[in-house]
Structure 1
Amino acid sequence: MRKFGIAILSIILSISAAQAQKHTLDKIAGVVGSGIILQSDVELKYASYLAQGNPPNNDIKCQILQSLLTQKLLAQQAVIDSIEVKDDDVDNDVERRMRGMIQRAGGTDKLEQFLGRSVIQYKDEIRPDIKEGLIAQRMQQKITANVNTTPADVQKFFNGIPKDSLPTFNKEVEVGQIVFNPKLSDAEKDAYRQKAEGLRKRILAGEDFGNLARLYSQDQGSAPSGGDLGFNDRTAFVKEFTAVAFKLKAGEISQVFESDFGFHFLQVIERRGEQVHVRHILIQPIITPASLERDKAKADSVYDLLMKNKKIDFSSAATFYSDDKDTKYNGGMMLNADNVEARSTYIPTDKLDPLIALVTDTMKVGSISKPILFTGADGKQGYKILYLKSTTNAHKANLAQDYPKIKEYANNDKINRTVSEWFQKRRKETFIKIDPQYQSCVTLKGWGTPVSATTTAEVKP
């Protein structure tokens, strides 16, 4: 814990120093059309790079400046194309980043101490850059919106890969799961509800909400900051929490309510349009041996339905009985965490949970495991039934087995070429000036407008 705290302090101090530097440095690192990039902007991002434990490397500043130039180009074209982002989207992104910083710093007070300014002031400072970044992101999405990768494109891309450079894919499996999480009876849960109610009554009697949250709340992310969750919209919370948070007025304290996380009560600090600033205290029930036994009995019963009675198939059983929201509506099939957007069910065995890898390694394709005891990332135990749908051994890439992957590579290549071509054209049409200290950067070669083209000092918007 001590090393973690020192690392976070280093990050915050580096960011704080770079922010202070921004008020003293007025050197222009780059000009893009009518926009400028200050050297302090580069230094701020470089300080964050160093604070993450990376070694000093001045070449990184070249990459940072290239990224900022790219963002300016996209944002300026977005103005021409009337692309905008809603203020709510910007606010949500600012709040998301601030929540992460507050959590890593150990609370709002510590963050403000390290930054040398209030959180509100800091959010105002970073908001313009975040807004420009979101606009640039939307512009790039527009540039690539019509990119379509056909089977012929995939074949051409694959044929263009030298045979000795074809990638090797690790062994992959398709695995389904039915998860059974233990559930406490009302009588077993009552002690935790009463504990939360007791803390609520102490606050109503005059004790400090923040102090009690630090001492008793089991939400590790917000407890250090007195239970403070900052500003959020309705999508940030589970439905039970949202229903309560957006019903109360500023200053009001809720009744105790239950969610999948446990028993909460909250206080609304401030309402701002469709955002609410709240703090809360969470009490999490502990699974009892009796509830775990009931869980195993349910898992055994579902296993019998699958294997002995054969009254239901695995996909239907997952939909009806699984407690895992991420897989139950996908027939129980797990998705590759590195390829969620493509919804790929092919998972390299080295990416599997060790327990699942161990069990499926001895299974035959098409077989279903008996219920196995597992411990989740939250430390809670439960049971799950596994289904091994397919196995693909390690092999050199080929179209017959790996078409979805190769299509993804081909599509990314086409997107990258489309964006690159857009930038090449746009750079020729836009006045771009780069400070001499960056002229030797390989990544910035060809970015600056030739001197002969700037004799009239014209800056194109």
Structure 2
Amino acid sequence: MKKYISLLGIAIATIIGLQSVYGQGRLVDRVVATVGSSIILQSDVEMQYAQNLAQGMKPDDDFKCYILQQLVTQKLLSQQAAIDSIEVSEAEVDDNLNRRMQMMVRQAGGKERLEEFLNRSLLQYKEEMRPNIAEQLKAQRMQQTIVSKIAVTPAEVKQYFESLDQDSLPYFNTEVEIGEIVIKPELTKEEKEQFRNKAEGYRQQVLNGSDFGTVARLYSEDGSAPYGGELGFATRDSYVKEFSAMAFKLKEGEVSPVFETQFGFHFLQVLQRRGEEVNVRHVLIKKKPTSASLQRAKAKIDSIYDKVTDGKLTFHSAAVLHSDNNETKFSGGMITNQEDGSPLIQIDRLDKETFTAIDPLKVGQYSKSFLSSDQTGEQVYKFIYLKSRIAPHKANLEQDFAKIQEAASQDKVNRTLSEWFEQRKVGTFIDIKEDFLTCDELKLWLNNTDDVIAQTSFP
């Protein structure tokens, strides 16, 4: 945490330095690039550099070349977005700004400390950032439009693979295809009562005059606690139904009763309404498993395990009927590789518990049940099915088609964007000040070249 605060200090010092220097007239801000009818100022580059420092990047003046390149491409994309009538809503800009501010608040160690660093309120800082964020979002949407219809055929995948240096193909570690059945410990009504009472106690503090934000910062078990429990503007479908029903029922300033969701017991306060959106803050007390609930979960999963291994129930059916992991149960418990969507996962990407469970198994076998954690960090019981295991090997089309297809698709996206930028570059006046032309990546914009501009993308 100290590392991030230190880097944030550098970033904020950069921002404050810019404000004082430009604001007092000792140095005139200057245009460092012109793209069509738009200009890019030195302060634009410095502000984005400061933001990257605030997000943990180590100081590196060469990175300013990359920032200016991104700003040039942003201008080209946003100008085309205006021509194509591509817009972004105020709500989208607000959501993006809120996420950025939350990250900076977290890394600064609190809202008050960040405002002290900035020498201004977060509201003022957000308003200053708003035009650039709106332009970034338009550029992103324009880029998505350019590449939205790109697809690669099997023939193109084969052609891409054959174009690679066959002596430099990647070597893949052992890969496995696995499934899981997960059972979460369920609390009885009596076991839940202690957590409901805890939440109610904090609610009474608020009703008796304690500041809601302070109570949230001190006691809430949600990620919003450092921000006083504030969640920012969101639509009705942004929350689980119980939370949404409460948030959209109350009047501004009203504090809700304690209510339960899948995450635990909450109470909330509506801060502001804006059309179909609402900004609330809340306190969450999570439900934690008791020893008795863990024993019941262990008994349940062992019963399922016995039925599967005895042949009374298929693994697929057992997962659909009984697993508490909603992300895998409807695929029969099978886990998907989140990186490329394939069913194969390299063993070095598995968590230690799963690796230990499947390491001694033969294909087609099941591990014994074991205590683990789900994606939210909550304790669960699970057992694993090893469907297949592929030995280490050099990349090939037969075993690695999905990975090669993804690489071929990305290559096609990069080439399409490069061609688009090349066309716009030819038809657009672009001027970059000489001191930035020491950067090779910026020379591309002024020379007649067919080099790929694949790095200019907006994720």
TM-score by length of 1: 0.90
The structural deviation recorded for 1:54 is 4.2
The structural deviation recorded for 1:145 is 2.6
Cα gap change, 1:100/1:405 in structure 2, threshold over 3 Å: closer, same or farther? same
Residue of structure 2 equivalent to 1:399: 397
Output the CA distance in 2 between the equivalents of 1:374 and 1:18: 50
Residue of structure 2 equivalent to 1:454: none
The structural deviation recorded for 1:4 is 5.4
Output the CA distance in 2 between the equivalents of 1:327 and 1:20: 55
Cα gap change, 1:193/1:62 in structure 2, threshold over 3 Å: closer, same or farther? same
The one of 357, 360, 385 equivalent to 2:358 is: 360
> How do residues 58-97 of structure 1 correspond to structure 2 at under 5 angstroms?
58-97=61-100
The amino acid across from 1:155 in the alignment is K
Unaligned runs of 5+ in 1: 451-461
Residue of structure 1 equivalent to 2:260: 258
The structural deviation recorded for 1:266 is 0.6
Output the CA distance in 2 between the equivalents of 1:13 and 1:242: 41
Residue of structure 2 equivalent to 1:179: 182
The structural deviation recorded for 1:260 is 1.9
Residue of structure 2 equivalent to 1:335: 336
- Output one character per residue of 1:243-298: Cα deviation in whole Å (capped at 9) or x when no partner: 21111110101010011221110111111122222111112233111110000011
Residue of structure 2 equivalent to 1:112: 115
148-157 vs 418-427, which deviates more? 148-157
The structural deviation recorded for 1:210 is 2.5
> How do residues 161-176 of structure 1 correspond to structure 2 at under 5 angstroms?
161-176=164-179
Contact in 2 for aligned 1:189/1:285 (Cα 8 Å)? yes
Cα gap change, 1:318/1:20 in structure 2, threshold over 3 Å: closer, same or farther? farther
Contact in 1 for aligned 2:183/2:301 (Cα 8 Å)? yes
The one of 272, 275, 278 equivalent to 1:273 is: 275
Query: Does residue 150 of the first structure (1) align with residue 148 of the second (2)?
Result: no
Query: Does residue 347 of the first structure (1) align with residue 349 of the second (2)?
Result: no
Output the CA distance in 2 between the equivalents of 1:231 and 1:117: 22
Residue of structure 2 equivalent to 1:420: 418
Residue of structure 1 equivalent to 2:221: 218
Output the CA distance in 1 between the equivalents of 2:6 and 2:243: 34
> How do residues 287-302 of structure 1 correspond to structure 2 at under 5 angstroms?
287-302=289-304
The structural deviation recorded for 1:377 is 6.2
Query: Does residue 431 of the first structure (1) align with residue 429 of the second (2)?
Result: yes
The one of 436, 441, 444 equivalent to 1:443 is: 441
Cα gap change, 1:120/1:290 in structure 2, threshold over 3 Å: closer, same or farther? same
Cα gap change, 1:380/1:22 in structure 2, threshold over 3 Å: closer, same or farther? farther
Q: 3-state DSSP class of the match of 1:337? A: coil
Contact in 2 for aligned 1:180/1:383 (Cα 8 Å)? yes
Instruction: Note the aligned Cα RMSD (angstroms).
Output: 2.2
Contact in 1 for aligned 2:177/2:335 (Cα 8 Å)? yes
Unaligned runs of 5+ in 2: 449-459
Contact in 2 for aligned 1:217/1:227 (Cα 8 Å)? yes
Contact in 2 for aligned 1:22/1:41 (Cα 8 Å)? no
Output the CA distance in 2 between the equivalents of 1:21 and 1:257: 52
Q: 3-state DSSP class of the match of 2:368? A: coil
Output the CA distance in 2 between the equivalents of 1:75 and 1:246: 35
The structural deviation recorded for 1:17 is 4.7
Cα gap change, 1:238/1:83 in structure 2, threshold over 3 Å: closer, same or farther? same
Contact in 2 for aligned 1:196/1:265 (Cα 8 Å)? yes
Residue of structure 2 equivalent to 1:197: 200
- Output one character per residue of 1:203-235: Cα deviation in whole Å (capped at 9) or x when no partner: 22223222322332222x232333222333334
Contact in 2 for aligned 1:95/1:232 (Cα 8 Å)? no
TM-score by length of 2: 0.91
The structural deviation recorded for 1:146 is 3.1
The structural deviation recorded for 1:396 is 0.7
- Output one character per residue of 1:337-386: Cα deviation in whole Å (capped at 9) or x when no partner: 333xxx22211111111110111111111222221122456554221011
Q: 3-state DSSP class of the match of 2:99? A: helix
The amino acid across from 1:322 in the alignment is S
